[in-house]
Chain A
Amino acid sequence: MSSKTPVKSAATSVAKKIRTEARGIRTKILQRKTPAMKFPVRSLSNVVYRPEKGHFQIKGRKKERTLTVGTVKTFAQTLRMMAFSQELIETDDMATKREAYYVSKNWDDARFNEQPESDTVIEDVEALFGVNREQLGFVPEEKGGDVAGELIVVDHDRDTGEKLRIDCTRFGSGAYSIPISVEQLQFETNADYILAIETAGMFQRLVKHSYWRSANCILISLGGVPTRACRRFIRRLADDHQLSVYVFVDGDPYGYSNIYRTLKAGSGNAAHLNEFFCVPQARFLGVTPGDIDEYDLPTHPLKDVDIKRAKDALKNDPFIQHHKPWQEALQKQIRMGVRVEQQALAKHGLNFVIDEYLPRKMANKKAFLP
């Protein structure tokens, strides 16, 4: 497992890569040939699950974007984004994806109309050079996730460089917020494990009752599909202190194949980076389809999109295809035709989750899904 820092390792080498690509395109143009850029295909169909490494790895499939009438706009936008990235690198500056979108408003006809368009182009450039967007000078504006519990995060004051020791037990009813870039952080902890939680509601309940104290653990709120920073944070923390990672999400196909799988093995979209942004040691605590019967939980019928997502995962997700228990779990859920939320445990009393559910689960870790 590599834990080497991917960020800022070779900012100048990225600028060099951009120049090399641009030079190649220019040469083609002057030779009166139509230039082309080759991008790795960014989807689940182009990744393979490496169980020994614990994450998705990109396969070789690439798509070629040849400069034609249909592609000339995106082609021009990609080049301008590369030029902008180069400028960021050379001036040691950074821009959020939204700022990059606004910068494009200066590009006349080549401007982006919506941010998703510019995000896609940034991701294309990332994949083109096989680098992280931070290396290109772009940072996400999304929140990284919340942390509470037996952990001291060591950071530095931006101006003075003074060491800051942030005690995550001392946020009261609040929490420590994971920054966008986590590579410079160091950790001090005596916790037994990390509990990653999907919903802010459940996180709040566990924080309010200081579950971390009684269980001697670190609570992290994922807030849906975990961001890269959040994944990286958990990975580094777990690696540094040999911590187990248990994941507690809603009992639906989205919780299983999107949230949990992305946390554990990475995504198909940025597969060249999964090596760094995955948490192979994660184990699935719940809510499992089996819990519905065992804890007599109230359910909702599966929606069409849920069923489609489950069938998709069974058919196309290399991670699910590798793990038989996951296939059985998804098939069972499709058969039952229902989904269950974390907070359904409140049926048995608001603190049932703290007093009963989690302790019973933690007592039988072997039953956790891979």
Chain B
Amino acid sequence: MAARQREISVSEFFTKNRHLLGFDSPTKALLTTIKEAVDNSLDACEEAGILPDLEVTIQALAENRYRIEVTDNGPGIVKAQVPKIFGKLLYGSKFHRLRQSRGQQGIGISAAGMYGQLTTGKPIVIESRTNRRQAAHRYELVIDTLRNQPVIKRDIEVDWEAPHGTRVAIELEGTYKKGRHGVETYLRQTALANPHVEIRFQGPAEGEVLAFQRASSTLPPEALEIQPHPHGVEVGLLLRMLKESKARRLSSFFQTEFSRVGPTLAQRIVEGAELQPRSSPKRVTAEAAEKLIASIRQVRIPAPPTNCLSPIGEERLLASLKEQIAADFYAAVSRSPAVYRGNPFQVEIGLAYGGDLTSDDLVSLYRFANRVPLLYQQGGCALFKSVLSTNWKAYGLQQSRGALPSGPLILMAHVASVWVPFTSESKEAVAGYDEIVREMKLALQEVGRQLARHVRRTQRRRDADRKRAYIEKYIPHIGIALQDILGLSEKQEAEIVETLTDTLARSRKM
């Protein structure tokens, strides 16, 4: 019985959890597949210090059957890495490290490949070239669901023009839709949050071509990897770290495995749990670990380093908004890094107002976590709720109770963190930690104030124009009346109208 269960475990795991992983509807499955491939490509390019050039192609094969192709100019992948990256669910590289990256759990692209294989029986096709001296390879990867193992079925050399890069192709059952949750929206928002990226898109229909131009030719600052901060660990993780650590004493364990802990703090933590600093980390029991956690909570520890974050930055946010959106006014705010439960994070808000944007609708809110657009579950997202609970009337917008403000406005909300707290594994909504909500609100208030200044200025100008038009409507009648009463000539009448218009235009009573 147990053996049978294991045999079907991979596909069953997937089938049971597809809603958590973002494959719960055919529309979403197609979008998630593209999303995961794009995330992977961007992460790979940035790690290698390459300005990303992406090409996304969707080909309609039959009704509800598509071939997704994402090509990048990244560093390429060597053969040994291919199965790990594309074939294993929960492949470990990203899970343990604390550094800002798009994918967080490493489920993504392999789940997409699994979905494609389950719905069409076709392998994932990966083409990659790592440098000028190596030929490009084309791998066909199949997941052996019996043994939960990825297997490279074919490996042939192919032509590849660029010196390096990777192309992933997945065939799947899905539905291609436009609109709020469509591929186009996702790519547009990705370009907004990643001004250093260039994306070309070919949709399933003929001539359905889009190009998102690069708005900044510098890569975002590299995010450094950091060790966990003591305030962010829980008992389970602490126990595993204790078991895996090479440190021989508890005090050195805390100093080497955590950030911001020196000899004094390490000693205080250990003694606070009534343990010996010299005792071995491997011997710590679950009970003692809980005491350690309690002790950590009592000790004041400096905030974690924030060089692990890579925000978009105010300047690049502005450049990106100006490149992608035709508006009258732009504002951007990058808050300083802050910390929730030992995890550094940073909130950014971008705003575009007026111009071609329509004013009757509710504000469009684009949410991002580590530069990845969040298209679903807006209602459950802390970023959305922060926008709701901000008083936009104070900033010159209209807002009904419990609704987004309305006006010609696009709002971007970005939270960057080594560990973005999502409400679920499908990574669609940010959880409402007090610290995050507070930072969001401060950022929103800051852009709000900038917006209010602009709105007031525009309003004043419009009022002045309206007043002038109003005055100019009636001044001629004063001229006509005076002409009638005093029997003036046309010239004398014109003189009155001209002089009076001029006087009123200068008048401060306007």
Contact = CB atoms under 8 A, between A and B. Distances in A.
B47 interface: no
Nearest to A33: B503
Nearest to A80: B481
Contacts, number: 84
Contacts of B474: 72-73, 75-76, 109-110
Nearest to B496: A29
Contacts of A109: 473-474, 477
Contact of B485 (A22, A68, A110): A22
Contact of A72 (B471, B480, B495, B499): B471
B502 A80 contact: no
A79 B503 contact: no
Contacts of B477: 76-77, 79-80, 107-110
B411 to A, nearest CB: 36
Interface string A9-48: 0000000001100110110011011100000000000000
Report which residue of B467, B474, B510 has the largest number of chain A beta carbons within 10 angstroms of its beta carbon. B474
A225 to B, nearest CB: 33
A82 interface: yes
B400 to A, nearest CB: 32
Nearest to B502: A32
A34 B504 contact: yes
Contacts of B467: 69
Interface string A58-92: 00000000011100110111011011001100000
B482 A79 contact: yes
A19 to B, nearest CB: 6
B158 to A, nearest CB: 75
Nearest to B480: A80
A232 B496 CA distance: 42
Given A19-B486, A34-B503, A34-B507, A69 B481 contact: no
Contacts of B471: 69, 72
Interface string A107-122: 1111000000000000
B482 to A, nearest CB: 5
B233 interface: no
B470 to A, nearest CB: 6
Given A68-B509, A69-B509, A76 B481 contact: yes
Interface in B491-510: 495-496, 499-500, 502-504, 507, 509-510
B275 interface: no
Chain B binding surface SS class: helix
A325 B361 CA distance: 66
Given A67-B504, A69-B509, A72-B470, A86 B478 contact: no
Which one of B471, B475, B503, B507 has the highest number of Cβ atoms from chain A below 10 Å of its Cβ?
B503
B504 A26 contact: no
Given A32-B503, A68-B509, A72-B504, A26 B482 contact: yes
B484 interface: yes
Given A75-B478, A110-B474, A29 B486 contact: no
B268 to A, nearest CB: 72
A306 B504 CA distance: 46
A83 B481 CA distance: 6
Nearest to A30: B499
B441 to A, nearest CB: 40
A227 to B, nearest CB: 29
Interface in B335-380: none
A18 B484 CA distance: 11
B481 A79 contact: yes
Nearest to A87: B484
Contacts of A25: 478, 482
B508 to A, nearest CB: 10
A90 to B, nearest CB: 10
Contact of A69 (B470, B485, B488): B470
A79 B478 contact: yes
Nearest to B497: A29
Contacts of A75: 474, 478
B503 A29 contact: yes
A138 B254 CA distance: 100
Contacts of A107: 477
Nearest to B481: A79
B473 A22 contact: no
A26 B474 CA distance: 15
B464 to A, nearest CB: 10
Contacts of A108: 477
A72 B475 contact: yes
Contacts of A30: 495-496, 499
Contacts of A80: 477, 480-481, 484
B168 to A, nearest CB: 65
Given A30-B496, A32-B499, A109-B473, A22 B482 contact: yes
Contacts of B484: 80, 83, 86-87
Contacts of B478: 25, 29, 67, 72, 75-76, 79
B468 to A, nearest CB: 9
A67 B505 CA distance: 12
B475 A86 contact: no
A109 B474 CA distance: 7
Contacts of B499: 29-30, 32
Given A30-B495, A76-B475, A22 B470 contact: no
Instruction: Identify which of A19, A33, A110 gathers the most chain B CB atoms within 10 Å of its CB.
Output: A110
Contacts of A83: 480-482, 484-485
A116 B502 CA distance: 32
Residue picked from A67, A69, A108, A109, most chain B C-beta under 10 Å: A69
Contacts of A22: 481-482, 485-486
Given A68-B507, A79-B478, A23 B470 contact: no
A232 to B, nearest CB: 29
Contact of A82 (B481, B495, B504): B481
Contacts of A77: 477
B298 to A, nearest CB: 68
Contacts of B486: 19, 22-23, 26
Considering residues B481, B486, B504, B510, which has the most beta carbons from chain A within 10 angstroms of its beta carbon?
B481
A23 B486 CA distance: 7
A313 to B, nearest CB: 38
Contacts of A29: 478, 496, 499-500, 503
A82 B485 contact: yes
Contacts of A86: 484-485
Contacts of A87: 484
A164 B473 CA distance: 52
B510 A69 contact: yes
A83 B496 CA distance: 16
Nearest to A68: B509
A190 B291 CA distance: 121
Contacts of B485: 18-19, 22, 79, 82-83, 86
Contacts of B504: 34, 67-69, 72
A73 B475 CA distance: 8
B465 to A, nearest CB: 12
Contacts of A34: 503-504, 507, 509
Given A29-B503, A82-B485, 6 more contacts: A29-B478, A32-B503, A34-B503, A72-B475, A76-B478, A83-B480
Interface of A: 18-19, 22-23, 25-26, 29-30, 32-34, 67-69, 72-73, 75-77, 79-80, 82-83, 86-87, 107-110
Interface of B: 467, 470-471, 473-475, 477-478, 480-482, 484-486, 488, 495-496, 499-500, 502-504, 507, 509-510
Those 5 A-B pairs whose CB atoms lie nearest each other, nearest first: A79-B481, A76-B477, A83-B484, A22-B485, A110-B477
11 contacts: A22-B485, A29-B499, A30-B495, A30-B496, A34-B509, A67-B504, A76-B478, A77-B477, A79-B478, A82-B485, A83-B482
